[in-house]
Each structure stands twice: as C-alpha cells, then as structure tokens.
Amino acid sequence: MPGKVREMGIKIGRLPVGPKNCMTDVAGVQVGHITLDEPLDQDGAYACTGVTAILPHGGNLFQQKVTAASYVLNGFGKTTGLVQVNELGVLESPIMLTNTFGVPAVTQGTLSYMLDLNEDIGLTTGTINVVVGECNDSYLNSIRACPVTPEHAIAAIRQASTDIAQEGAVGAGKGMMCFGYKGGIGSSSRLVKVEQQEISYTVGCLVLSNFGQSTEFLAERYNASNRQSQSTLSPTDGSILIILATDAPLSSRQLLRVIKRCGIGLGRTGSHFSHGSGDVVIGFTTAHSIPHTTDQLMETRTQLREDHPVMNQLFAAAAEATEEAILNSLSQAQTTTGRNGHTVEAYAFHKA
C-alpha cells in the first residue's frame, strides 16, 4: 500500500509533525469519507467520486460554532456558505467536499442532517449556513450523471472520526488528479511550541488536490522523480481545496492571515494558481466555542498577540502542512480507472 512521503524519506520544512501527521491531530477534529466506485447504467458510465466531511468537533456545530475564515487564491470554483463565514467569522456546519455537480446534493444532505439535529432552525431561530466546496473530477467520473446523493453526504458525516484520516483516492478525492497523476485527499500537521510558556499549538491541513500538469511539478525539489514515463494528462478546470484547522486562539482576522500562507505551500509544489483553477482555503480554530444563543450582552475571547513570534511560526506551519498534504495526496493515491476506461496512474515516488 502507498504511504506518506515521510515514510519515503521526504521531509518538508522544519517544524515537527503531530503524532498522526494529519488534520485529526487537532484535538476533536473529525474526518469522514464516502467513496463511490461503481459502473452506472449507461454504457461506459462510471461513478468515480465521493464525499468528504470535516467536523471541527463532535458536538452540535450549529449550537456551538467555531471561529472561521476563508480565502480565495483563484476564484474559478463553486462553493456554498463562504460569504457568511467571512462576514460573521464563524462556522456552524461541517465542511463538505465533493465534485462540482455534487454540490447541490451534498448541500441538501448536510442541511437535512443539521435540521434533524436542530429542530429550532427556521422556526424559533434563524437559518443555517452550510459550507460545501468542490473540484471537477469529470475525466474519471461521469459527472453529468450526478451520482452523489444527499444520503452520501449524511453518511460521510456519520462516518467521521478522530482516527487517522484516509488519504489518496477516497471520498471526494476518488476521481481527482494532481500534476497529471492520481491525486485526491492528502493531510499533514505541524506542532508550534512556545518554549518559554510550555505551550504547544497544533495546525492540521487536509487538501483535495486536482490541479496541475506533470511538467509543473517540482519533483527535483523533493528528489522525487517518477519512475514511470511523464503523464500528459491534466485536470479539467484543475482546482484545490485546502482546509486548515488549528487549536491556536486566533480571531477570524488573524486566522485569515494564517490561511493566506497555505498558498505558499501550494506554490512550492509548482502551482501558479492557473486561470481555470478554483483554489480556495477554508480555516477554523477550535479554541473558541461560540454559543448560538446567549443572554449575555458581551462575550470574551482570548487571542494571540499579533506581534508575538508565535504568529510567524503559525504562518510557517500553514505553508509546511499544506505542501506536505499535497505530496501525501499524490503518494497515498492508487492508479484508478473510471468512466469510458479512462485510467490515471499513481505517481511512483522513489523510496529513500
């Protein structure tokens, strides 16, 4: 079975990784996948896609919101919910990932799940803001058949756990490509230590990679040349979704500053955020639990000082974790065959 790039001797950056080296190193964060890998009724049609759910904590996300922010590196993408996230600075639903035409079904399924959990939504309180992002997997997946259903979204949420997250061709990553090879889900984490106060913060990243041509991949940077011939494939409207989680006490504005640095990690691999690419970062911190209802006029939240050196460490952690997560999406993926017999080969990393 393929493994993470660290198992092959490729080390990214200077900061230490968490014990699982994935997003779920941030305490309480859960990740779940539902993968579709089956022929459809039409000739040559194939469901090669899925849904990935990211939950900031195991409680009721509508009743106990978390501080959040999003940032668009390049806007050729389709998402729901990010306007309100950026306006209010909070997240109140799972973050859901899927294929481009799966966004309506996944939004509906997530909405149904949250409505069942909260009988007050739309009656005695306001509506809910569901966050869904996508990449285009139409080379391997019969995207026009819309095989993803609302029930798949609900199942992905229910599958979510704090275990080591599956990576590669799973969940929303089943049909995705990266630098002309098989991509998909990748994850990594970093630990940021404040030695003087014996405090440690965790930064976890999960990506859905679906971008780039093989000639753009900076393989020499990692001493990771492919043992196979160079791929000529490239994703249609290639994109990447980057989800960053942390337990560092940040305001929404500070979190926005941190997640902007994810673009550095993406660029280090060789991406230039191409014209047809939907490159979007969504971040949240579990440091704040923000109740949906309260009788209090004022609320108090702790946040880091802007000029403390730990902020630069968090910037570095975001860049490093993103870069390694992208490489893990390549190294963990397996050769996949989808619609009309289309096949995308796994990238054959050399093992040190």
Coil, helix or strand for 25?
Answer: helix
Q: Tell me which of 231, 277, 329, 331 is the catalytic residue.
A: 277
Coil, helix or strand for 316?
Answer: helix
Q: Which of 137, 171, 130 is nearest to 31 (CA)?
A: 171
Spatial distance between the Cα atoms of 329 and 78, rounded to a whole number of angstroms: 21
Coil, helix or strand for 215?
Answer: helix
Phi/psi of residue 46, each to 5°? -150, 135
Spatial distance between the Cα atoms of 195 and 309, rounded to a whole number of angstroms: 11
Q: Tell me which of 137, 237, 247, 279 is the catalytic residue.
A: 279
> Active site includes 279?
yes
The neighbouring-strand residues paired with 191 are 202
The neighbouring-strand residues paired with 199 are 194
Q: Which residue has the tokens 């306006």?
A: 87
Spatial distance between the Cα atoms of 71 and 82, rounded to a whole number of angstroms: 9
Concatenate the DSSP letters of all residues of 242-258 into one string.
Answer: EEEEE-S---HHHHHHH
> Active site includes 251?
no
> Active site includes 295?
no
Q: Tell me which of 239, 251, 271, 331 is the catalytic residue.
A: 239
Query: Any idea of the CA torsion for 23, 250, 258, 283, to the nearest 10 degrees?
Result: 50
Catalytic residues: 239, 277, 279
